[in-house]
Structure 1
């Protein structure tokens, strides 16, 4: 049975932030991508891509999931997507990987998941301004992507680095194969 990786989709999600990681995981014999939205209904990405998720939030149980992936999008900045808090916190508290990029890191700051682990976002001052509850400034890393334990965070301009951290965390490929993939997509370098 394949391990399930849940990808949260919502109106206005940043489609390009998950576009490097989803094809690679989808090719795997070990993992199954489970795309879900709050209601399971059709959503439209920031780029205008209309997607019909395979599940609704109520169809998911954190015990059945290997990882949760949260793409960015303006809904996070506006206080949206709060309905996934229980799933996110349950995953995090169970030690299951939670991966967030761009504005989704703001949400993690708002619910207290960034306070004790190394993390990044699009900018520390932006994070502090959008998440007044956030108190993890001492753990902030000025980096494109950071993994600390079961938490993966990435700057909004780093979808390739985000994918690489996810691949490492789930053991999608060997370290050498992940580095080869990264060099190809980041730098256009293919090595034999």
Structure 2
């Protein structure tokens, strides 16, 4: 079985991975009904971490337990503590996964960790802003590949800024090919606008899938 590995660290932004972890773990709108991608929390150690919202999370695994063979994607959230050297192993793991065609998604502060490690020097990417990366990442040399977009998917790497939690979920779901195209469009539009018509449209796409499977 493949897992979504969500890295957790002190001060992590609780909300940034909420949409994507909920959809991957539940599989509620997957085109393959009854399937899911379980989420495993990963820490620098097995000690509990405290999120920015004050929630305590006990990691399921440590970084060395992640393998390319079992990784559907590595999710890296924003946090104020990415400069702590204890997080170097997960950045190295991200490097290894990307090199082996594994998938990595980074949001907000996690993009600084990738930038400082040189992982954004030759890939199209985005973040909170170019100034944000140049200010906080002294080793960053990827300005020529920076895109003034809310989210950027460059092959198996997805990057976005702090307000990109919903967009991150959409791009991860698309990358892993988990929803029907019209389901994903309706899902995104519903959560982006709150318009109930999109929720109804999404339900219709699921009913169509069920009808097709029964034939």
Q: TM-score, normalised by structure 1?
A: 0.93
Cα offset, 1:30, TM superposition: 3.7
> How many Å apart are 1:86 and its aligned residue?
2.4
Structure 1 residues 62 and 86: alpha-carbon distance in aligned structure 2, compared to 1, 3 A threshold: farther
Aligned residues: 191
Contact 1:145 1:155 in 2 (8 A): yes
Cα deviations by residue, 1:104-146 (Å, 9 ceiling, x for unpaired)? 0011111111111211000101101211221111111111111
- Partner secondary structure for residue 40 of structure 2: strand
Tell me which residue corresponds to 1:166.
172
2:81 maps to which residue? 75
1:33 pairs, out of 21, 39, 44, with 39
Structure 2 stretches of 5 or more lacking a match? 28-34, 202-215
- Deviation of residue 80 (structure 1)? 5.6
Provide, for residues 36-67 of structure 1, a one-character-per-residue CA deviation record: whole Å limited to 9, x for no partner: 11112211111001112211223222332121
Return the offset for 1:79: 5.8
Deviation at 1:98, TM superposition (A): 0.8
Matches within 5 A, 1:127-138: 127-138=133-144
Aligned to 1:14: 13
Structure 1 unaligned spans of 5+: none
1:183 lines up with 2:189 in the alignment: yes
Q: What SS does the corresponding residue of 1:167 show, helix, strand or coil? A: helix
Match of 2:66 in 1: 60
Question: Partners of 1:86 and 1:102 in 2: how far apart?
Answer: 18
Aligned to 2:22: 23
How large is the RMSD of aligned CA atoms in angstroms? 1.5
Q: CA deviation at 1:81?
A: 1.6
Q: Which has the higher helix share?
A: 2
Structure 1 partner of 2:207 = none
TM-score normalised over the length of structure 2: 0.84
Within the candidate set 122, 125, 140, 1:119 is matched to 125
2:95 equivalent to 1:96: no
Q: Distance in 1 between matches of 2:107 and 2:184?
A: 19
Shift of 1:87: 1.1
Q: Which aligned segments of 4 or more residues in structure 1 are displaced greater than 4 angstroms? A: 77-80
Find the aligned partners of 1:97 and 1:16 in 2 and give their Cα distance. Answer: 21
Partner deviation per Cα, 1:61-94 (whole Å, 9 max, x = no partner)? 2332121110000012566622313211111111
**After the TM superposition, which residues 143-154 of structure 1 pair with which residues of structure 2 at under 5 Å, given as runs?**
143-154=149-160
Paired residues of 2:44 and 2:86 also in contact (CA < 8 A): no
